[in-house]
Every structure is written in C-alpha cells, then in structure tokens.
Chain A
Amino acid sequence: MSGATVTLLYFARLRESLGLAREELVLPAGVQTLQALRAHLAARGGAWSEEMAPARKLRAAVNQTLAQGDAPLKAGDEVAFFPPVTGG
C-alpha cells in the first residue's frame, strides 16, 4: 500500500548517529515490508547508509512487537529500529 503514513522511532546508538528520535514517513510506492523500508532509509546516504546497511546488526519492531524483515507495513504502524539490546 503506497501513500500510507507510518511513525518511525530510533533508539540508543542509532538515534545518536542519525540525529533523530522520531519521524513520520509516507511510504513510497514499493515499500511494503520492513526490509524494503530499511533499504529505502539506507538510500538516504551518510549515517543512514552506514547504520541501515544490511551487514549492520539491527533489530526492529512493528507496533511494539519484535519483527523480521518480511513483516508487512500498513498505515498508522509504529516502526522502531534499534541496536541489539543490552539491559539487565
């Protein structure tokens, strides 16, 4: 579904290197999964290419549930990207 707006959240090291904690994004045509969204963000260049690179260990959640690359996206979703967790 193109034209859908999603909320993107970035945490920890990712938030710092991207200089951004949160944004609203209208999904471009063809961006329908988490994996496609990650590739779209990587194409922004600079720190984005570095942090979103396929080789970079990154976790993601859709609507606050851990999700894999093939997870579908829809209007109103809250999508979060973050480094592997280090609590406890």
Chain B
Amino acid sequence: MSVRVQEADFDIAAEIAAMRRGNPKIGAIASFIGVVRDINDGDAVSTMTLEHYPGMTEKLIGAIIDQARGRWEVLDALVIHRVGTLKPTDQIVLVVVASGHRGDAFAACEFIMDYLKTQAPFWKKEVTPQGARWVDARASDDEAAGRWRN
C-alpha cells in the first residue's frame, strides 16, 4: 500500500509493473487516471494549481485505502496525486488496485477515487480568460461517495 503526493508526473506502466513484480497472487488490476480538462463550467482553462494539506492528505488517503481493504480483497493499492501547477492534458491522479479477481479490483478502485474526491484535502485554483478562481466542490461528487454507504 502506498500513497504519494508529488509535483512530478507518473508512469502508469512502470507503477503497475512494480506492483505485479513477484506477486503471483494478483489476478486483477484496476486503475484510474484523472486528467486536466481544457474547459470547466463553460470557461477555457489555461492552467490549474493544486494545493494540499501536507501530512493530513497522506494520512487520510491511507485511511481510505484501509476502508477499502476492509470491504474487498485488496492485495496492493497505490495512490499518486500531483500538486503544483498543471495544464490541460496533464495527469493529476492515479489509483491502482490489485486483487485476486476483477470485481474486488474495480469496486475498490472506484471507492478509493470517490472518497478521495470528497475527503482528501486538495484544492484546485484554475486560470481562465476571466482570471484565476478557486474551483467549487460539486454535489455530484458527494452523491458518488454516498453510494458506498449502504
């Protein structure tokens, strides 16, 4: 299990290869990559800057992974979240979950991402032709995380 918050980009192929190496119990790997779009709420986005709460971020994502391990078979999990200034097409976040079977891998990967979106202390500030603005939280993200409560 591993959580990294970093400015540098990441390579999904290298990360998955490292996770699989020497672990013959893995039968399924599910992954998610979040990417910067060039438009948000109808305005063109030229760059976005991500800020976080060092220490709490890593602790909270670790706790989300622990919750996922309590619900599904998770042999290994990795979350990488970038901070700093990013531009459209840049990768922002990577979630990789390894399990014995695909059902657990898919579910745990989506669960981790839904909880990260609504709980992990990251904030986006985007630059548009109207100037810089903090991105507002979305109700649809709360609803996505709420699905897992039953």
Contacts and interface: CB of A to CB of B under 8 A. Distances in A.
Contact of A88 (B51, B53, B55, B92): B92
A83 B122 CA distance: 10
Interface stretch (A6-14, A31-39, A41-49, A69-77): A6-14
B125 A83 contact: no
Given A9-B53, A11-B51, A61 B121 contact: yes
Interface in B93-146: 93, 113, 116-125, 134-137, 141
Interface in A57-73: 57, 61, 64-66
Contact of B117 (A80, A82, A88): A88
A11 B121 contact: yes
A57 B134 CA distance: 14
B39 interface: no
A88 B137 contact: no
Given A12-B51, A61-B53, A86 B93 contact: no
A44 to B, nearest CB: 22
Contacts of B50: 87
Given A11-B51, A83-B137, A61 B123 contact: no
Interface residues of B, number: 28
A83 B59 CA distance: 19
B118 A85 contact: yes
A64 B59 contact: yes
A19 interface: no
A84 interface: yes
B130 to A, nearest CB: 16
Contacts of B51: 11-12
B52 interface: yes
B122 A64 contact: no
B113 A82 contact: no
Nearest to A63: B56
B34 interface: yes
Interface string B53-89: 1011001100000000000000000000100000000
A9 B57 CA distance: 14
Interface of B: 34, 50-53, 55-56, 59-60, 81, 92-93, 113, 116-125, 134-137, 141
